Chain A
Amino acid sequence: MSDHVQTLLDRLPRLGEAVLVTLELTLGGAVLALVVAVVLGFGSRTRTLWVRGPSRVIVEFFRGTSLVVQLFWIYYVLPAFGYELEALAVGIVALGLNYGAYASEVVRGSIESVPQGQWEASVALNLSWFHRVRRVIFPQAWALMIPMLSNLLVQLLKGSALAYYITLHDLNFWTVQLRRSTSDTVFSYTVGLLVYFVIAYALTWFMNWLEARAKRRLGIGPQRPSLRETLRLEPAPVPTAPTAPTAPAAGVRTGGAP
Chain B
Amino acid sequence: MSDIWNWERAWEVLPDLLAGLRITVLATVVGMVIASLLGLALALVGRAPNRWVTVPVKFVVDFVRSTPLLVQLVFVYLLSPPEIPGLAIGCVVLGVHYATYMSEVYRAGIDAVPPGQWEAATALNLPRARTWRAVILPQAVRKTLPGLGNYAISMFKETPFLFAIQVVEMFAEAQSFGANTFSYVEPLTMVGLLFLLVSYPTSLLVRRMEIRLA
Interface residues of A (CB under 8 A from B): 60-61, 63-70, 72-73, 76-77, 80-81, 154, 157-162, 165, 172, 175, 179, 185-186, 189, 192-193, 196-197, 200-201, 204
Contacts and interface: CB of A to CB of B under 8 A. Distances in A.
A157 B65 CA distance: 12
A80 B74 CA distance: 31
Given A67-B158, A76-B188, A192-B71, 11 more contacts: A61-B196, A63-B203, A66-B171, A68-B163, A68-B171, A69-B191, A73-B188, A80-B184, A158-B70, A197-B62, A197-B66
Contacts of A69: 160, 171, 188, 191-192, 195
B166 interface: no
A64 B66 contact: no
A172 B65 CA distance: 17
Given A64-B195, A77-B184, A193 B67 contact: yes
Given A64-B199, A66-B160, A68-B160, A197 B188 contact: no
B160 A64 contact: no
Interface residues of B, number: 37
A66 B158 CA distance: 7
Nearest to A154: B66
Contacts of A201: 66
Interface string B76-110: 00110000000000000000000000000000000
B4 interface: yes
B129 to A, nearest CB: 34
Given A66-B160, A165-B164, A193 B71 contact: yes
Given A64-B200, A165-B164, A185-B79, A76 B184 contact: yes
Contact of B195 (A66, A158, A161, A197): A66
Interface of B: 4, 62-63, 65-72, 74-75, 78-79, 157-161, 163-164, 171, 175, 178, 184-185, 188-189, 191-193, 195-196, 199-200, 203
Contacts of A172: 68, 70-71
A158 B67 CA distance: 6
Contacts of B175: 72
A73 B71 contact: no
B174 to A, nearest CB: 8
A77 B191 CA distance: 12
A72 B157 CA distance: 14
B111 to A, nearest CB: 17
Contact of B4 (A63, A80, A196): A80
A159 B68 contact: yes
Contact of B72 (A66, A159, A193, A200): A193
A73 B69 CA distance: 21
Contacts of A162: 70, 161
Contact of B196 (A64, A81, A157, A192): A64
A185 B188 contact: no
A77 B71 contact: no
Nearest to B204: A60
Nearest to A73: B188
B185 A77 contact: yes
Given A73-B188, A76-B188, A81 B161 contact: no
Contacts of A73: 188-189, 192
Contacts of A70: 192
A241 B36 CA distance: 55
Contacts of A80: 4, 184-185
Given A185-B78, A196-B71, A68 B161 contact: yes
Contacts of A63: 199, 203
Q: Which of A60, A61, A189 neighbours the largest number of chain B CB atoms within 10 Å of its CB?
A: A189
29 contacts: A64-B196, A65-B196, A66-B159, A66-B171, A66-B192, A69-B191, A69-B195, A73-B189, A76-B188, A77-B184, A77-B185, A77-B188, A154-B65, A157-B66, A158-B66, A158-B69, A158-B70, A159-B68, A161-B68, A161-B70, A185-B75, A185-B79, A189-B71, A192-B71, A193-B72, A196-B67, A200-B66, A200-B67, A201-B66
B66 A60 contact: no
A175 B200 CA distance: 36
A57 to B, nearest CB: 11
A77 B182 CA distance: 11
A80 B184 CA distance: 9
Nearest to A159: B68
